[in-house]
Amino acid sequence: MFAIIETGGKQYKVQEGDSIKVELLEGEVNSEIKIDKVLMIKTDDNISVGTPYVDGVSVTTTKTADTKNKKLTIYKYKRRKDWDKKKGHRQGISVLKIDKINI
């Protein structure tokens, strides 16, 4: 059984026992987070697609860590003008462990 969930404006395919990296979520580490935005769920013999979300289905997760993603380097320059600018950014992420898909 698997489900497709939406969090942070992105979609993820999850199964029980998986770990995923998502945009930074509020809450303490080792706390339980319930995600209600389930777009699709597939059981052994049935597929349910929501419009846009499947009613009555949620995914229970545990937040295992808060970290930062790899660093992105932004570099801008203007040729022949002796002008450049270098900037870096690290996006905060949360690591979630999928505990259960609630039907």
The per-residue pLDDT for 96 is 95
Quote the pLDDT of residue 103: 86
Per-residue pLDDT at 91: 95
CA–CA distances in Å: residue 53 to residues 1, 48, 79: 17, 10, 49
Q: What is the pLDDT along the chain (103 residues), one digit of tens a residue?
A: 999 999 999 999 999 999 999 999 999 999 999 999 999 999 989 999 988 999 999 999 999 999 999 999 999 999 999 999 999 999 999 999 999 999 8
Residue 29 contacts residue 96 (beta carbons within 8 Å)? no
